[in-house]
A and B are shown apart, each in its own frame.
Chain A
């Protein structure tokens, strides 16, 4: 769903005043583009699936283990994110943590308490490619409200902020923006990309594609859709079970108790990252596991670019 054009125009002050009523955060992407007086979080993932989360506490006393589950935490917060980051929540995180029974109660509670707003993008950064993976810079899909800065105020769709109807000059501004984005939008990946990639598993270009990647956790940790986690005990006789992020880039991610490691080679881990996002997830859930936010491209220490990797594998499969 693109913006309907049926929204209202509010003053920037009214919009900010409304946002200030609760605990409001913005994502780093939003913070970088707009000066808003709210603290930032890396992505919605950092709120919904925190990197350090205690699931239960335990201690050893009177010759027995005492275990106390910790209830899911839930303080209502409002988060203003870019449309791709909203998509990361609705297309990927929700599908993974709530899509099948049993649902993850920790995630579910946080999700229920999250008001997620989309702040439309007015241009594509060099790293942006939401339109290649089914997104759009003005998409309000999945968001609780949608806002877009205009020269005369803030265009708003949703409940909460009141304003006046769009003036004709503002309608023109919106139309011009839509047309401009249309012109500069990176074109979608081929429709059959997930199938092509699936076929290309055994292709011999993977070594070449993966070369240069440091196999660090920067891209996966900072990605809004990567959801893999690890459970590890903190403490010996007294402590907690902690859920923390894990990454398919790490050699121990797939290490079996037998000491066999099906992905012992760095190339296999890079391949997993690409195929999970662009083949396995879409084949199962019907949407890409990457929302094209470009954070991994921007933050990779060696400028390893996932867009090029997908293009190269697709052309290998064709």
Chain B
């Protein structure tokens, strides 16, 4: 079934009260989140390589009257759904995952070089992106999180939408270069990037896993960091967030895409996810039943320091 047919049918048959999806935005190459409630609106539902937001973020902020909702989920949105169910934020039965295979998300900032570029001047063809008639390798236009993505199609879904070409891109270790640098150089990288942060919290607010009613960053009692974005406090915020997301980050990169200053902030969270993968053989949002590394105690834990 196509995405449109599936979504329309769900609404028409009252299986759900809303479909969380994307709609064309007001600017070229931009989409925006939308809660479709009327089957007639479904025509406006889109899914393309410019749907970089993680829609699972909205599952905890649904308007009143929506009991069961369907979500258009690419691989990482699907992982976020699983992770939220795993953390008892949602009931699985109130959620209908409309899985869509994902072509990878294009970093729109990379299109800024082409002045006045129109949407119809850009097309995807296999592993290539064609801009004004010239083909370029798609991978070089994708977000880092998409180049390293392991699960392009959701692992857990209720309906898997057909169609949609998914180029078989190699999974790339986008952090290798940074990791190979000596410590001072890595420090220099983060220093430079984090000194630009204005602490608008778009990254945190776009993150499906940052749903705390009161974030430590804004807590007054106790106060962990100063509201003004000095380098020191920026580090406290981002490292604090990275710690809170260890074993929870679903590696979607939505935080990085949300940053108005283009700070490659996901680097930090992706690196922590790698560490969790390596030491705990765990990936967030992959398995609803898998025990979460930081809230599970086992007497026979292989790591002696925990026992």
Question: Which residue numbers of A lie inside 8 Å of B, CB to CB?
Answer: 51-52, 126-127, 207, 211-212, 214-218, 221-222, 230, 232, 234, 242, 244-247, 250-252, 266, 297-305, 307-308
Known A211-B63, A308-B26; contact A303-B31, beta-carbon cutoff 8 A: yes
Q: Check if A242 sits within 8 Å of B228, measured CB to CB.
A: yes
Q: How far is the CA of A245 from the CA of B218 in the complex (A)?
A: 14
From B31, B63, B198, B205, A214 is in contact (CB under 8 Å) with B205
Residues of A within 8 A of B260 (CB): 218, 222, 299-301
- Which residues of A lie under 8 Å from residue B218 when comparing CB positions? 250-252
Closest to A308 in B: B26
Closest beta carbon of chain A to B227's beta carbon, Å: 5
Q: Does any Cβ of A come within 8 Å of B226's Cβ?
A: yes
Interface size class on chain B is 20 to 34
| B102 on the A face (CB < 8 A) | no
Chain A residues within 8 Å of B257, by CB: 301
- Chain B, Cβ-Cβ closest to A222: B260
A218 and B227 contact, CB distance less than 8 A: no
User: What separation, in Å, do the CA atoms of A305 and B227 have in the docked complex?
Assistant: 27
Q: Is B32 touching A216 in the complex (CB atoms < 8 A)?
A: no
Is the C-beta of B209 less than 8 angstroms from some C-beta in chain A? no
Closest partner residue, chain B, to A247 (CB atom): B200
B230 at the interface (CB under 8 A from A): yes
Most chain A CB neighbours (cut-off 10 Å) among B30, B57, B200: B200
Within 8 Å CB of B205, what residues of A? 214-216
* Minimum Cβ distance to chain A for residue B53 (Å): 6
Determine whether the beta carbon of A234 is less than 8 Å from that of B202.
no
Known: A244-B227, A244-B228. 12 other contacts (CB 8 A): A212-B33, A214-B202, A215-B205, A216-B204, A218-B202, A232-B227, A297-B27, A301-B53, A302-B258, A303-B30, A303-B31, A308-B26
Q: Are A303 and B228 in contact (CB under 8 A)?
A: no
**CB-defined contacts of B258 to chain A, threshold 8 Å:** 214, 216, 218, 301-302
Q: Is B25 an interface residue (CB 8 A)?
A: yes
Distance between Cα atoms of A251 and B214 in the complex (Å): 9
Interface residues of B in 33-84 (CB under 8 A from A): 33-35, 53, 57-58, 61, 63
B residues near A (Cβ < 8 Å) are 25-28, 30-35, 53, 57-58, 61, 63, 198-202, 204-206, 218, 220, 226-230, 257-260
Can you pick out 9 interface pairs between chain A and chain B where the beta carbons lie within 8 Å of each other?
A52-B229, A52-B230, A207-B63, A214-B206, A216-B200, A244-B226, A297-B26, A299-B260, A307-B26
A226 to chain B, nearest CB (A): 11
- Minimum CB–CB distance from A293 to chain B (whole Å) comes to 14
Q: Please, which residues of chain A bring their CB within 8 A of the CB of B259?
A: 301
Tell me whether A234 and B27 are in contact (CB under 8 A).
no
Q: Are A303 and B27 in contact (CB under 8 A)?
A: yes
A234–B228 touching, CB < 8 Å: yes
A52-B230, A207-B63, A242-B226 known; A305-B26 Cβ under 8 A: yes
Q: How far, in Å, is B46 (CB) from chain A's closest CB?
A: 12
| Smallest CB separation, A213 vs chain B (Å) | 9
User: From residue B247, how far is it (CB to closest CB) to chain A in Å?
Assistant: 24
| Distance to closest chain B CB from A70 (angstroms) | 15
Q: How far is the CA of A230 from the CA of B199 in the complex (A)?
A: 14
| CB proximity of A198 to chain B, nearest CB, Å | 25
Given A234-B226, A303-B25, A308-B26, decide whether A252 and B32 contact each other with a Cβ distance below 8 A: no
> How far is A222 from B28 in the complex, measured between Cα atoms in Å?
21
Q: Tell me, in angstroms, the Cα distance from A246 to B227 when the chains sit together.
A: 8
Report the Cα distance A15→B229, complex, angstroms: 36
C-alpha spacing A252/B219, complex, angstroms: 9
Which B residues touch A307, using CB under 8 A? 26
Contact check, B27 vs A216: say whether CB atoms are below 8 A apart: no
Cα of A308 to Cα of B228 in the assembled complex, Å:
31
Nearest chain A CB to B36 CB, angstrom units = 12
